[in-house]
Amino acid sequence: MKTGESREFELTFPEDYHGKEVAGKVARFNVSLKQVTEPVLPEVDAEFAKALGIADGDIAKMRADVRANLEREVRRRTQTRVKDQVMKGLLEAGTVELPKSLVEIEIERLMEGMRRDLTARGMKPEDIPMPREAFEPEARKRVTLGLIVAELVRRESIAAKPEQIRAMVQDYAEAYERPEEVVKWYYSSPERLREMESIAAEENVVEWALDVAKAQDQQVNFDELMGNK
């Protein structure tokens, strides 16, 4: 298509489309191309730095801030990738008898999370089919990992220490404009703090597993790590 051109086309909505009023129906669309644009890189100057939150427009400060943010994101993504591999290994290495009640509780948690997500997207959860059995595999996986991690933390005495939790909270907070307020936000809620304690304990399990297992370093390029490929 070129600028100013228009085209018509038909589209059949799936039978299970979330908008029941159009599910299974054929719609005709008329599309007009108004303008074709391309991204243009801005000048790296004081105004650009200010737009990124550097009040005095100091370009060197801006570059340092961008570098720190990128290094923090690379570290987190690397840790997440390693953690996923360790947790997968723990799942494959062990067999755990799962209490049905824990699985049911986790299914409900997953369903509630889905309801909140749908609501945040402007959809009505009651209009979307959510069979409990669809959530069971993920629930069983989470409960299994939870039990394995809890047992390793107990057996190896690798529970998260207060200073480790605070360091993690502060690291998370550094990504925000007012880190001190984020730290206060975490410490104002026992539930949020328990969540951070759980994450810290999982990191301890990852470190323990890497010590006892045969780990092999693997190079990953930046684009792949950041999900650009």
Whether 139 is in a domain gets the answer yes
Does 138 share its domain with 209? yes
In a domain, 70, yes or no: no
* Whether residue 22 has pLDDT greater than 90: no
Residues 160 and 93 in one domain: yes
List pLDDT tens digits, range 65-122.
999 888 988 988 998 889 999 999 988 887 788 999 999 999 999 999 999 999 998 8
Is residue 29 one of the residues assigned to a domain? yes
Q: Are residues 115 and 28 in the same domain?
A: no
192 and 90 together in one domain:
yes
Asked if residue 211 belongs to a domain, the reply is yes
**Residue 11: its H or E element:** strand 6-12
Same domain, 139 and 212: yes
Least confident of 137-146, 148-157, 194-203, 212-221: 212-221
Q: Which two tokens stand for residue 38?
A: 């391309």
Token code pair at residue 107: 């299914």
| pLDDT value, residue 220 | 80
Is the pLDDT at 128 greater than 90? The verdict is no
| Boundaries of domain holding 23 | 1-40
Beta bridge partners of 89: none
Residue 19 has pLDDT above 90, yes or no: no
Residue 130 within a domain:
yes
Q: Say yes or no to pLDDT of 228 above 90.
A: no
Average pLDDT of the chain to the nearest whole number: 89
Number of domains, the chain: 2
Say which CATH number the domain at 188 has: 1.10.3120.10
Q: Categorize the per-residue pLDDT at 229 as very low, low, confident or very high, splitting at 50, 70 and 90.
A: low
DSSP secondary structure letters along the chain: --TT-EEEEEEEPPTT-S-TTTTT-EEEEEEE--------PPP-SHHHHHHTT-TT--HHHHHHHHHHHHHHHHHHHHHHHHHHHHHHHHHHH---PPPHHHHHHHHHHHHHHHHHHHHHTT--GGGS---HHHHHHHHHHHHHHHHHHHHHHHHHT-PPPHHHHHHHHHHHHTTSS-HHHHHHHHHT-HHHHHHHHHHHHHHHHHHHHHHHS--------HHHHTT--
- pTM for the whole structure: 0.66
Is 175 a member of any domain?
Answer: yes
Q: Are residues 201 and 91 in the same domain?
A: yes
Are residues 172 and 120 part of one domain? yes
Do residues 29 and 138 both lie within one domain?
A: no
For the cut 70, the answer to whether the pLDDT of residue 197 exceeds it is: yes
Check residue 196 and give its pLDDT. 93
Mean pLDDT is lowest, of 19-23, 106-110, 121-125, 165-169, for 19-23
Q: Is residue 99 part of a domain?
A: yes
Residue 54 belongs to some domain of the structure: no
The answer to whether residue 151 scores a pLDDT higher than 70 is yes
Do 117 and 25 lie in one domain? The reply is: no
